[in-house]
Structure 1
Amino acid sequence: MLAVVCVLTATVLVLVQARMRRHVRTDLVSTLRAESAVYAEIENARHGQLEQSAALIEQQPFLKALMSTNDQITVEDGSASILETSRTDLLALENSDGEILGFHARSDAVPLTVAKTLMRGSSGHQDWWFAGGHLYDVSLRPIVAGSNGNERVLGRMALGRELSRQAILQSAVFGKVAFAIERSGAVLLSSLPANAWGEFENSLHQSAAEPATIQEIDFEGERYLDSYVELPGDHPVRLYSFQSFDQATNFVRSLNQLLLIVGSIVIVSGAFFLFILSRQITRPLEQLAIGARQLELGDFEFKFHVGGKD
């Protein structure tokens, strides 16, 4: 009987744990996909605002007048106010020969030489620039003077908005979720501990998952589920979101401990009850056996111990 109780208790523990883990995983998968999709929409909306700002600035007569001088000092000095009025974080102005005439960035860590290289590498209307430890969502627009067949290309403008770790965490989407932005297998920005970046980069080389695919990864012995969305551009980046599977299943372990305690109490109580019950059944039989032995020995005066009131 005791063995049956133990087996049933163990079976219940295993079934409950498996069921709860499946339920937790399903919830995490749903949360990851929803968060990734929502943040992708947020970034699309922000880039749309950036494109509108770039389109308005590119049409300004004073900018076309500056670019028509083709003088680096004039353009550099005259375009300094654009960064402040547009509330953006990076501005690069290039003439039709590919020379940078004006460059401004809120961070001093972004050198002009890097901006030149990034400008040459961007041929479309949207790109992601990573320079000096800063990641920028960049909108590129041609600067054209004239109209009605008399158009003349004066150059290009790159207007950038920095995507920072704080901005992502404050978006309310990733408030309690870890994230990482990577490109070509290298982490550009992340809320993960620095010592986990290498493990994540190694996992990227070992698997090539499609967007919205759920993967399982270990960081220092802790299991995470991750999913990503791709943010478009000439050099797109991937935004990964992570949920700790082990932290989410902590309550399952607590539940297991509670079930073990309850199961132990049930087993001990059952064993004690069986012992008392068996003693009630076997005591009369023991008395009969003793009486039979006494009769065999010729002790006809032996008296049985009688308990109870019957």
Structure 2
Amino acid sequence: MGENRGIRTRVLLVAAMAVIIASATFGSLLIVRHQLEAQVTQGLTKDLEHSVITFQNLESQRLAGLEEENALLADLPTLKALMTTSDQATIEDGGVHFWKISESDLFALADNKGRVAAAYVKDPTGSRQLATDVSQLFKTPTPRYLVSSGHLYACSVHPLYFGREKDGVLLGYVISGFVIGPDLLRQISQVTAVEATFLSQGRSLASTLDESVVRQMVGTTIVEGHDLNAPVTLTLGNARFIVAMRDLTPSSPVPLQLVVMKSFDQAEQSIRQIDRLVLFAGFLALIIGTVLMIWLSRIVTRPLEDLATGVRAFGVGDSSHLLPSDGTREVRQLSLAFAGMRDEIMRTNLALLESERLATIGRMASSVSHDLRHYLASVYANSEFLASSPLSESERGEILSDIRTAVHGTTELIESMLIFSRTGAAIRRSHELVATLMERALSLLHAHPDAAGVTLTANYGDPADSAALVDGKQIERAIYNLLLNACQSARTGEKEARVQAHLGVRDGVISIEVEDNGPGVAENVRSSMFQPFVSEGKQKGSGLGLTLANCIAAEHGGEVILVTSSPGQTIFRMTIARGIVQHTSPESANQKRWAAG
């Protein structure tokens, strides 16, 4: 489970690349947008300045024309004669002629004290208040703008002298002007694409904007001081504008401001288009980068994965797995280093196995040779007795019995060695009753000399429940070895030798417990008693009994363990898996058991 934890290198590389590209894209997007907005604001500010300059130039041109017209009118003898009358009614009647000549939107005549004697305007609704409003021009140091009846006029005031201007007598003033209205502002807007509005005392006098937008702008507080050098951003309706203000109050009898503004819409559309291009470029870079990184990561990680697979295969004993020979230089070096280490480990293991094999052969020869010499010496000596000495029938029977015991011991020793050499090979399974196998092992044990004088008891339980799919000969041998080991241990005790065997079945596992009343297993051999040729504490034996029993149990999905060991009670338990078996009736099981017996 642990090897599946963690993030794959390929995923980590692709994710890191995606995060880097996404971060770079959005960072670039923010920087580009900030720079573009700064440039747009700077450009719009210049447009506002340009629009004001354009308006001032156009206004100056028209005022220059008015100045020339007023100068010509002031030199007319008829106008001078009219102003010398000092009669307001006469001046009003006579002034109409000169108004028509000037063709101005506004025309007025005032005496030398600034009192308006006659005032004319094309809009008749503003004629009542006109004279009073015109008289306010003379209170302004630099009169230029006039607000009257909701109209805004740009005016020219020219003095009228009797005689020359240097030494003549001031008779009055000639005043003319033109309306600053939406038409004039639209001319400027067409050139500069800037919206303009004249504000006076909280109301709009002229504007290029819609009335709803103008009303919203009038209701918005425009902080004083935001001139052309310090524009502000203002949202009107659904549009955003950059707004600057020029204060015209010094040239007007009443507070007057020129407000110029330009919409961000076109610039924002360009910025959004650039944003989309940047995002598209980032997305395209992400796709291309992802494909490229997947390809590169496969070049880097595939040999690593093959190398990891080879390491896992070698860990479970497969040394034939091919190691990667491609990839980056570091991967190739790592693969070569591991291949060398694997070869060295295999050579070391072969040397260890050979050494262990030789050591095992030596231990086996040392252990077996003593027993074989003992048995062969017994056969040889007894055979000489039979051949050279006249013996009675009873003596001859004893000698034959000793020879039979020696031959039986030799056969048993050879058979144990053969079984030990075959452990790990394929076993031949068949349906068997373990109770029957246990009974056979007890029958064989009765004939063994080490079982003489030992009280053997067995509890088979229900024989039908002991059905299992096993190698009957091997299981019988394992039980026999456990029982023989118990008999040999019980005979060395101080009490009457007793051995008990119990067969049990639970959760698909068959267990055989063998208990003896011997002195117990010595502490110094408990950790190695299942190793071959360990027979400490016994007068005779090859040391293969417990080893064979444990190997056979392991091949049948079980084991042999020491449950308890103390003077007077030692219990070994062997467990085996039942496997897939065919259920047998109690009657047929009993018949099979007794037939086998």
TM-score, structure 1 normalization: 0.79
Q: 1:264 and 2:280 equivalent?
A: no
Across the aligned residues of Structure 1 and Structure 2, the Cα RMSD in angstroms comes to 3.6
Q: Name the stretch that deviates more: 37-46 or 95-104.
A: 95-104
> Does residue 1:121 correspond to 2:136, yes or no?
yes
Displacement, 1:255?
0.8
Judge conservation of contact 1:213–1:228 (CA < 8 Å) in 2.
no
Report the equivalent of 2:33.
17
Match of 1:233 in 2: 251
User: What do the CA deviations read for 1:172-223 (whole angstroms, capped 9, x no partner)?
Assistant: 77541111122345432111222222443344x4511164323213122533
1:97-112 alignment to 2 at 5 Å?
Answer: 101-111=117-127
Worse-superposed segment, 285-294 or 155-164: 285-294
8 A Cα contact 2:152 2:205, kept in partner: yes
In structure 2, C-alpha distance between the alignment counterparts of 1:100 and 1:39, rounded to whole Å: 29
Shift of 1:142: 4.4
Q: Which residue of 2 aligns with 1:197?
A: 214
Does structure 2 conserve the Cα–Cα contact (< 8 Å) formed by 1:92 and 1:115?
no
Name the SS for the 1:88 alignment partner: coil
Change in 2 beyond 3 A, CA 1:2/1:65: same
For 1:119-152, what per-residue CA distance to the aligned partner results, in whole angstroms no more than 9, with x for missing partners? 2322156342223442111223444546798847
Look up the SS of the partner of 1:50 in the other structure.
Answer: helix
SS at match of 1:269: helix
Deviation of 1:118 (Å): 0.4
Distance 1:95 1:286, change over 3 A: closer
Alpha carbons 2:51, 2:192 under 8 Å: kept: no
Separation in 1, partners of 2:224, 2:273? 35
- Measure how far apart 1:158 and its partner are: 2.3
Q: Residues 225 and 214 of structure 1: is their aligned pair in 2 closer, same or farther, counting only changes over 3 Å?
A: farther
SS in structure 2 at match of 1:129: strand
The answer for the alignment partner of 1:245 in structure 2 is 264
* Alpha-carbon separation, structure 1, partners of 2:50 and 2:116: 41
One-letter code aligned to 1:270: G
Supply the distance in 2 between the matched residues of 1:283 and 1:98 (Cα, whole angstroms): 100
* Residues 161 and 168, structure 2, Cα contact 8 Å, conserved in 1: no
The 1-side partners of 2:269 and 2:63 are apart by 39
Structure 2 distance, partners of 1:252, 1:277, is 36
Secondary structure of the corresponding residue to residue 109 of structure 1: helix
Alignment deviations for residues 49-85 of structure 1 (CA, whole Å, 9 cap, x no partner): 3223223212322123333444555433432232332
Distance of 1:126 and 1:52 partners within structure 2:
17
Larger RCO of the pair (alpha carbons < 8 Å, separation 6+): 1
* Unaligned segments of structure 2, at least 5 residues: 1-16, 327-597
> Within 5 Å, which residues of 2 pair with 1:119-198?
119-123=134-138, 126-145=143-162, 151=169, 153=171, 155-171=172-188, 174-198=191-215
Counterpart Cα distance in 2 of 1:210 and 1:62: 49
Between the aligned partners of 2:113 and 2:310, the Cα distance in structure 1 is 120
CA distance in 1, matches of 2:22, 2:246: 48
Pair 298,126 (structure 1): closer, same or farther in 2 beyond 3 Å: closer
The letter for the 2-side match of 1:176 is: A
Greater C-alpha radius of gyration: 2
The Cα shift of 1:27 comes to 2.1
Query: Which residue does 1:63 correspond to in 2?
Result: 79
SS in 1 for 2:288: helix
**Cα–Cα, structure 1 residues 140 and 281, in superposed 2: closer, same or farther, change >3 Å?**
closer
Alignment of 1:80-95 (within 5 A): 80-95=96-111
Aligned twin of 1:216? 232
Deviation of 1:47 (Å): 2.0
Please identify, of 25-34 and 249-258, the stretch whose mean Cα deviation from structure 2 is larger. 25-34
Q: TM-score, normalised by structure 2?
A: 0.44
Describe the superposition over 1:251-276 as per-residue Cα deviations: whole angstroms up to 9, x where unpaired: 12211111111211211222233233
AA partner of residue 117 (structure 1):
T
Query: Do the aligned partners of residues 282 and 95 (structure 1) sit closer, same or farther apart at CA in structure 2, a change above 3 Å counting?
Result: closer
For residues 90-118 of structure 1, the C-alpha deviation after alignment (integer angstroms, 9 at most, x for no partner) is 1123456877543322223322x211220
Residue identity in the other structure for 2:242: L
Q: Which amino acid aligns with 1:57?
A: L
Q: What's the counterpart of residue 49 of structure 1?
A: 65
Higher strand share: 1
**Partners in 1 of 2:150 and 2:96 — Cα distance?**
23
The SS at the match of 2:125 is: coil
- In the alignment, structure 1 segments of 5+ residues that lack a partner are none
Correspondent of 1:32 among 42, 48, 63: 48
Name the CA distance, whole Å, in 2 between partners of 1:116 and 1:86.
18
Aligned pair in 2 of structure 1 residues 248, 286: CA closer, same or farther (>3 Å)? Answer: closer
The question of 1:275 aligning with 2:291 is answered no
SS of structure 2 residue aligned to 1:239: strand
If each structure's helix is expressed as a fraction of its own residues, which one has the higher value? 2
Amino acid corresponding to residue 286 of structure 2 in structure 1: I
Change (3 A) 1:152 1:21: closer
| Amino acid of the structure 2 residue aligned with 1:233 | S
* Preserved contact between residue 224 and residue 242 of structure 1 (Cα < 8 Å): yes
